[in-house]
């Protein structure tokens, strides 16, 4: 099974100490967001965890310690660096600092384990298509030697976003084609593999792969492993990834990104962050008398499991 540490919150940037303790103790609790009294215990053991997935906008806090995890587990790292300033991502390091940290991470874990995420792509009067092209080219030129691939997606216009970012200019199909054509050309110029994420559009004519961001093929190539043949239902609509289990909580990321899908609003996330206890088995809160704990369904999907774990 796959453990995902960062799709609900930026665990690496804000909860590194907690995360390291969970791996040291060998288990973690995850509360069901739909049924708060339902708690799942996941063993953080290489015997049942085939790969640990990280997703963050700032890996600086975990760099000195990351080998405590990479020395024991197969891993893959998504590093999100966008074109946006503090007006949209108030607590995210600037582009140059982020690139510097990505290069450090690549030096530790290897380029084959890192995907640069340039998403979500959105338009405003400030963040025009031309600005995206300039910024993407600047980053691609510096980042391409240190990553496995670049992954992008277009912003989803859900109701919460309409309230949080009224300045967004809706993307038309023509806009999307133009953007894909340009970033595809930039990627080719820098010999960088680029692909979509959870898209039902085919952009192959522009040199853009239509793939999942965490497919068996990606994780196999990054870690030198082989998964058993199996179907994947994905994690959301149009998702082509292997299924994973999340160990973070919504409404706990203080980055304050205006487009964020995982927070109701920045104030709630900041208040929850202040309540965090690094010694808890949860990223937020503790066990309650009313909690029902169940063991997560964990088994390896690796082919020739014993041999792969040995070598």
| Beta strands 2-4; 245-246: pairing state | parallel
pLDDT for 216 beyond 70? yes
Residue 114 falls inside a structural domain = yes
Residue 307: the pLDDT is: 46
The string of pLDDT tens digits covering residues 198-209 is 677 889 999 999
The string of pLDDT tens digits covering residues 47-57 is 999 999 999 99
Contacts of residue 114, Cβ cutoff 8 Å, sequence gap at least 6: 76, 77, 78, 79, 102, 105, 106, 146, 147, 148
Percent of the chain with pLDDT over 70: 94
Mean pLDDT of 84-108: 98
Query: Would you give the DSSP letter of residue 60?
Result: G
Residue 44: the pLDDT is: 97
| Beta strands 38-43; 114-121: pairing state | unpaired
Structure tokens at 147: 């990553």
Rounded CA gap, 196 and 177, in Å? 13
pLDDT for 310 beyond 50? no
Ramachandran sector of residue 92 (left: φ over 0; alpha: ψ -120 to 50; beta: rest): beta
Residue 234 falls inside a structural domain = yes
The string of pLDDT tens digits covering residues 240-255 is 678 899 999 999 999 9
pLDDT for 143 beyond 70? yes
pLDDT for 168 beyond 70? yes
Q: Is pLDDT larger for residue 71 or for residue 231?
A: 71
- Nearest residue to 181 via CA among 209, 148, 205: 205
Domain of 103 in residue numbering reads as 2-305
Regarding pTM above 0.85, the answer is yes
Structure tokens at 100: 């510097």
pLDDT for 236 beyond 80? no
Rounded CA gap, 133 and 116, in Å? 16
- Nearest residue to 129 via CA among 176, 92, 186, 192: 176
Residue 310 falls inside a structural domain = no
pLDDT for 112 beyond 80? yes
Residue 214 falls inside a structural domain = yes
Residue 73 falls inside a structural domain = yes
> Cα 203 to chain center, whole Å?
22
- Nearest residue to 143 via CA among 99, 175, 185: 99
Residue 311 falls inside a structural domain = no
- How many distinct structural domains can be found in the chain? 1
The string of pLDDT tens digits covering residues 61-80 is 999 999 999 999 999 999 99
> What Å distances lie between residue 1 and 47, 146, 228, CA to CA?
10, 27, 12
What φ, ψ does residue 218 adopt, rounded to 5°?
A: -65, -45
Residue 36 falls inside a structural domain = yes
Residue 115 falls inside a structural domain = yes
């Amino acid at each position: 099974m796959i453990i995902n540490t960062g799709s609900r919150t930026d665990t690496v940037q804000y909860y590194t100490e907690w995360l390291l303790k969970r791996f040291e103790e060998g288990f973690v609790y995850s509360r069901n967001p739909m049924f708060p009294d339902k708690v799942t215990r996941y063993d953080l053991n290489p015997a049942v965890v085939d790969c640990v997935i990280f997703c963050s906008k700032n890996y600086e806090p975990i760099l000195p310690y990351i080998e405590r995890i990479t020395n024991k587990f197969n891993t893959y790292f998504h590093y999100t660096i966008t074109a946006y300033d503090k007006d949209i991502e108030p607590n995210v390091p600037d582009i140059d600092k982020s690139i510097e940290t990505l290069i450090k991470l690549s030096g530790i874990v290897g380029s084959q384990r890192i995907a640069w995420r340039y998403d979500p792509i959105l338009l405003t009067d400030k963040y025009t298509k031309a600005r995206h092209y300039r910024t993407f080219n600047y980053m691609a030129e510096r980042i391409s030697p240190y990553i496995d691939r670049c992954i992008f997606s277009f912003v989803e216009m859900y109701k919460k976003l309409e309230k949080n970012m009224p300045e967004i200019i809706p993307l038309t199909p023509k806009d999307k084609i133009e953007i894909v054509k340009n970033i595809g050309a930039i990627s080719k110029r820098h010999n960088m593999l680029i692909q979509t994420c959870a898209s039902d559009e085919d952009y192959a004519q522009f040199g853009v792969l239509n793939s999942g961001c965490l497919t068996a093929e990606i994780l196999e190539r990054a870690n030198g492993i082989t998964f058993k043949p199996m179907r994947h239902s994905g994690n959301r609509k149009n998702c082509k990834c292997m299924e994973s289990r999340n160990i973070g909580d919504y409404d706990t990321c203080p980055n304050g990104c205006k487009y964020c899908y995982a927070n109701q609003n920045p104030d709630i996330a900041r208040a929850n962050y202040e309540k965090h206890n690094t010694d808890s088995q949860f990223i937020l809160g503790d066990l309650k008398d009313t909690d029902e704990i169940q063991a997560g369904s964990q088994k390896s999907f690796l082919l020739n499991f014993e041999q792969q774990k040995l070598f």
